[in-house]
Amino acid sequence: MRGLVFLSPWLIGFFAFTLVPIALSLYYSFCDYSLLQPPLFKGLNNYRLLAQDPVFWKVVLNTAIYALMALPLGMIVALGVAMLLNLKIRGLSIYRTIIFLPSLVPAVASAMLWLWLFNTKLGLINTALRGVGVANPPGWLTDVHWAMPALVLMSVWGIGNTVIIYLAGLQDVPRELYEAANIDGATTLRKIWHVTLPLISPVIFFNLIMGIIGTLQVFAVPYIMTSGGPARSTYFYTMYLYDNAFNYLKMGYASAMAWIQLLIVLALTALAAWSGKRWVHYQGN
């Protein structure tokens, strides 16, 4: 009893701000609900309408493409940068700070900054490209073929958090293993493949899960930079969810989208966990 009383502040908060809203959102996903009128139970109507909604499938596709591009690129670049930051060189703390700083910039501020960098006419990127002889640089955020790659490139700028986690994992790899590999005549690539990657596989696994969740929920940056354009080429799942909830006042429809998103993330996480049995090696196992 005393334990429950001690836990009660957290329990009350958990029920009031987590469990009850989650349960209500599940109920609302089966209702027509605008926030301004009481919910009207409609069964599976919202889910049926979603299945027939071409914009829903468009945002699912866009989000999947973004995740398929941003996640591997982010993880590979972050791992590469972490490996470089793991070397014993002068000024290491400065380099680590520089790499980490962009992840401290608020999303809105970085979106405004990159809006200007990607500006077709006046942006630094296109000015630099013209300077090296590219006569017709991409339209970036105004071009349906380049808007998505632009957002993916921008996502790489904020890899600081991922790098720090990889760095912690790399520093945990016992030196003796590298020494043993050296003695056996292993090249750098072989050392990475046979020593580094297996030993940091739990860290890779963690970053993979966090990356899946993060990329599938991308919202703030594209909402500010492109508002989903041009022609819905950068219209992502969470943006459509937000528009349904707060612009169109279709909370029930948005709740249904939220639950579908949860199921997708859970499914992908479960898939990653299942595949992890083959390639994730925990020390001590």
Partner 1 sequence: MSSFGTGILSGTKHLVVAALVASGLGLLVFGPRAGDKLPKNCVIVDYWEKWTGDEETGMRQIVDDFNSTVGNEKHIYVRYLSTSAIEQKTLVSIAAGVPPDVAGLYNQNIPQFSALDSLEPLDDLAAEHGITAKTYKKVFWDECHYDSHLYGLVSTAFDLALYYNKEIFRRCAPELESRGLDPQHAPRTIAELDAYAKALDRIDPSGQIVLAGYLPTEPGWFINYTCIWFGGSWWNGARQKFTFTDPGVVRAYQWIQSYSRRLGPKAVAEFQSGFGTIDSPQNPFLAPTVAMVQQGTFFAHLINHLKPSMDGQWGAAPFPSYDPKLRDVTYCNCDVLVIPRGAKHKSEAFEFIAFVNRQDEMEKLANYHCKISPLAKVSEGFLAHHNNPYIRVFDNLAASPNAHPTELVPILPEVNDELINFIQRLQLQQVTPEEGLRQVQTRLQQKYDQFMEDQRERRR
Chain residues that interact with partner 1, rule: CB under 8 A: 32, 34-37, 40, 42, 49, 54, 119-122, 139, 142-144, 228-232, 243, 246-249
CB of 12 vs partner 1, minimal distance in Å: 20
Cβ count within 10 A of residue 209: 16
**Residue 154 contacts residue 221 (beta carbons within 8 Å):** yes
CB of 40 vs partner 1, minimal distance in Å: 6
How far apart are alpha carbons 205 and 199 in whole angstroms?
A: 11
Nearest to partner 1 of 24, 270 (CB atom)? 24
Nearest to partner 1 of 75, 125 (CB atom)? 125
**Residue 237 contacts residue 223 (beta carbons within 8 Å):** no
Angle between helices 201-216 and 54-85 (to 10 degrees): 150
Nearest to partner 1 of 36, 189 (CB atom)? 36
Nearest to partner 1 of 215, 234 (CB atom)? 234
Cβ count within 10 A of residue 195: 17
CB of 36 vs partner 1, minimal distance in Å: 4
**Residue 25 contacts residue 262 (beta carbons within 8 Å):** no
How far apart are alpha carbons 80 and 19 in whole angstroms?
A: 40
CB of 27 vs partner 1, minimal distance in Å: 16
Nearest to partner 1 of 141, 218 (CB atom)? 141
CB of 130 vs partner 1, minimal distance in Å: 11
